[in-house]
Amino acid sequence: MIFARVIGTVVAAQKDENLNGKKLLLCKEVDHQGKPLSTYHVAVDAVQAGEGNMVLLSYGSSARMTDLTRNAPIDAVIMAIVDDVHVQTVKPSKKATA
Amino acid sequence: MIFARVIGTVVAAQKDENLNGKKLLLCKEVDHQGKPLSTYHVAVDAVQAGEGNMVLLSYGSSARMTDLTRNAPIDAVIMAIVDDVHVQTVKPSKKATA
Amino acid sequence: MIFARVIGTVVAAQKDENLNGKKLLLCKEVDHQGKPLSTYHVAVDAVQAGEGNMVLLSYGSSARMTDLTRNAPIDAVIMAIVDDVHVQTVKPSKKATA
Amino acid sequence: MIFARVIGTVVAAQKDENLNGKKLLLCKEVDHQGKPLSTYHVAVDAVQAGEGNMVLLSYGSSARMTDLTRNAPIDAVIMAIVDDVHVQTVKPSKKATA
Amino acid sequence: MIFARVIGTVVAAQKDENLNGKKLLLCKEVDHQGKPLSTYHVAVDAVQAGEGNMVLLSYGSSARMTDLTRNAPIDAVIMAIVDDVHVQTVKPSKKATA
């Protein structure tokens, strides 16, 4: 999954019928600290995310694994709203020699 | 999903039989403001999109989730015509500390 | 789908049994005008494409949606031979304001 | 699969119900020698990985092929903890002429 | 599919049970002439590939389409050992006008 921030909405009247009743949100990819990256994504909202929220996006067939999105022709879903990201000071364990 | 603009058509006589009767459209990726990016995509049209339309493309197995495209060997579908994209001034909510 | 040109063949004696009888073609990605790009792809031929042909490649699970490729461990298929690509002068319709 | 190192955790209260009880770990991609690359990934932990562990990430529908993740809207899973990577001096066998 | 060369092995004791008995090989991507590129991949070996072999990798759900890998949480498989790659002098056929 990747981090993104909800920054807008997409309006589309003419669309596949399986998209009816689904909110299409414009998301800007961010890093784990919430800093904006350059990529934009359009995703269906499955967790009632609001604008400004930092969220997690799931891509591909996994995007259809929510009650809302099953069988819809969509390839990206917002499946969690991020509250906090805890980063530890990295001290590698388990060796990986080469 | 990504934004694209329909800019042409692809003609192919010799093709998998599951492609019969499906329109293959040439699309140029655009950003959320409609500005052209460098990437081109060929997608099956499931919403009667016309040339010049700004559309949404869905990729992967999701491209087969329309009545038109079920079981076809295609990996990209136009599943919505974009009318408007509303962008809010971003005011991040929900903290994401690191 | 992406455009590519068939430029060669791949010979592999030791392979998964589901690949028997399938032609593995070396393809060089091209743009919509047929100009070569830098990426190479190996794809199974489902439409009797020949060397020099400009073709369409479908990736992922969609590559298994032809009679020839069903259940094979392959992630790319040639599913159409391109005859022509018609590009219109782009005159954007449907606004997408931001 | 790609190599990554577990460097933190993601907290999300509001999420798809299929995510309940699953640990979302923040991973930084590394090369085969454990050297950090620039990309971050959020993955569900299926093997009780701990922070600092070098792990393998599997993406896409394959991420749902563990007992823990079946049917969940997630596209990345940690499915192995890396103990060692043995690299041989490469001496190409089987010719590939062009 | 992409070309790669087998250059090592990955040892992982703690892993999803569906990985038991499967060999995880470290592969370095190569071009069609066998020249090394910069990307590394970890793939399950389904064709008894050895170190130094030039192989084909299949990604995504297709990686689970071998007897060995069915239902395993893996997204890359070695499904063929490359013996030869024949490249023709490219003489484009079938026009693609724009």
User: Across the interface, which of C56, C85, C92 has its CB nearest the CB of B34?
Assistant: C92
CB distance C57 to B16 below 8 Å: no
Give chain E as a 3 state SS string: CEEEEEEEEEECCCECHHHCCCCEEEEEEECCCCCEEEEEEEEEECCCCCCCCEEEEEEHHHHHCCCCCCCCCCCEEEEEECCEEEECCCCCCCCCCC
**pLDDT-derived band at D90, boundaries 50, 70, 90:** low
Give the type of residue at D94: K
User: Across the interface, which of A11, A19, A63 has its CB nearest the CB of B83?
Assistant: A11
Number of residues in chain B: 98
Specify the number of domains making up chain A.
1
Domain range for E36 is 2-81
Summarize pLDDT for D20-53 with one digit per residue, the tens. 999 999 999 999 999 999 999 999 999 999 999 9
Q: Which parts of chain B are beta strand (E)?
A: 2-11, 24-30, 36-45, 54-59, 76-81, 84-87
d(CA B83, CA B85): 7
Which chain D residues are closer than 8 Å to E87 by Cβ? 98
Full pLDDT tens readout for chain C, 98 residues: 999 999 999 999 999 999 999 999 999 999 999 999 999 999 999 999 999 999 999 999 999 999 999 999 999 999 999 999 999 875 666 545 44
Which chain B residues are closer than 8 Å to C32 by Cβ? 8, 26, 40
Residue of B nearest to C50 (CA): B14
What share of chain C in percent tops pLDDT 70?
91
Residue B47 lies in a domain: yes
Angle at E67 between CA C10 and CA E70, to 5 degrees: 105
Strand, coil or helix: A11: strand
Q: Looking at the predicted structure, is the pLDDT value of residue D9 above 70?
A: yes
Q: Looking at the predicted structure, is the pLDDT value of residue D91 above 80?
A: no
What share of chain A in percent tops pLDDT 70?
91
Which chain A residues are closer than 8 Å to D56 by Cβ? none
Which chain B residues are closer than 8 Å to C1 by Cβ? 24, 41-43, 74-76
What share of chain D in percent tops pLDDT 70?
91
- If you average pLDDT over every residue of chain D, what do you get? 93
Summarize pLDDT for A64-82 with one digit per residue, the tens. 999 999 999 999 999 999 9
Torsion sign over Cα B60, B65, B69, B73:
positive
Summarize pLDDT for A2-14 with one digit per residue, the tens. 999 999 999 999 9
Residue D32 lies in a domain: yes
**pLDDT-derived band at D77, boundaries 50, 70, 90:** very high
User: Across the interface, which of C32, C53, C74 has its CB nearest the CB of E93?
Assistant: C53
Phi, psi of A9 (to 5 degrees): -130, 155
Residue C89 lies in a domain: no
d(CA C45, CA A76): 30
Instruction: Find, among E1, E79, E85, the residue nearest to C39 by Cα.
Output: E1
Phi, psi of A68 (to 5 degrees): -70, -35
Summarize pLDDT for B9-56 with one digit per residue, the tens. 999 999 999 999 999 999 999 999 999 999 999 999 999 999 999 999
**pLDDT-derived band at B89, boundaries 50, 70, 90:** confident
What residues 5-34 of chain E have any CB closer than 8 A to a CB of chain D? 5, 7-16, 18-19, 24, 26, 28, 32-34
Find the CATH number of the domain harbouring A77. Answer: 2.40.50.220
β pairing state of A24-30 and A76-81: unpaired
Cα C70 to Cα A90, B17, C18, C26, C76, distances in angstroms: 45, 14, 9, 20, 12
- If you average pLDDT over every residue of chain B, what do you get? 93
What per-residue confidence (pLDDT) applies to A90? Answer: 54
Give the mean pLDDT of A52-61.
Answer: 98
> What does pTM read for this prediction?
0.92
- If you average pLDDT over every residue of chain A, what do you get? 93
Q: What burial class does residue C92 get, using C-beta atoms within 10 Å of its C-beta: 0-12 exposed, 13-18 middle, 19+ buried?
A: middle
Give the mean pLDDT of B68-78.
Answer: 97
Strand, coil or helix: D24: strand
**What would you report as the CA-atom Rg of chain B, rounded to the nearest whole angstrom?**
16
User: Across the interface, which of E50, E74, E87 has its CB nearest the CB of D62?
Assistant: E74
What per-residue confidence (pLDDT) applies to C93? Answer: 62
Residue E89 lies in a domain: no
Phi, psi of A50 (to 5 degrees): -115, 165
Query: Which residues does chain E have with pLDDT short of 50?
Result: 95-98
Q: Looking at the predicted structure, is the pLDDT value of residue A97 above 60?
A: no
Q: Looking at the predicted structure, is the pLDDT value of residue D94 above 50?
A: yes
Instruction: Find, among D52, D60, D79, the residue nearest to D68 by Cα.
Output: D79
What per-residue confidence (pLDDT) applies to A8? Answer: 98
Q: Looking at the predicted structure, is the pLDDT value of residue D95 above 60?
A: no
Partner E contacted by D41 (CB < 8 A): no
β pairing state of D84-87 and E24-30: unpaired
Q: Looking at the predicted structure, is the pLDDT value of residue A92 above 90?
A: no
Q: Which letter does DSSP use for residue D53 in this model?
A: -
**pLDDT-derived band at A93, boundaries 50, 70, 90:** low
β pairing state of E2-11 and E24-30: antiparallel
Partner A contacted by B70 (CB < 8 A): no
**pLDDT-derived band at B97, boundaries 50, 70, 90:** very low
Residue C95 lies in a domain: no
Residue B32 lies in a domain: yes
CB distance B80 to A15 below 8 Å: yes
d(CA A26, CA A29): 10
- Cβ–Cβ gap B85/C96 under 8 Å: yes
Residue C13 lies in a domain: yes
Residue E93 lies in a domain: no
Instruction: Find, among D68, D69, D51, the residue nearest to D60 by Cα.
Output: D69
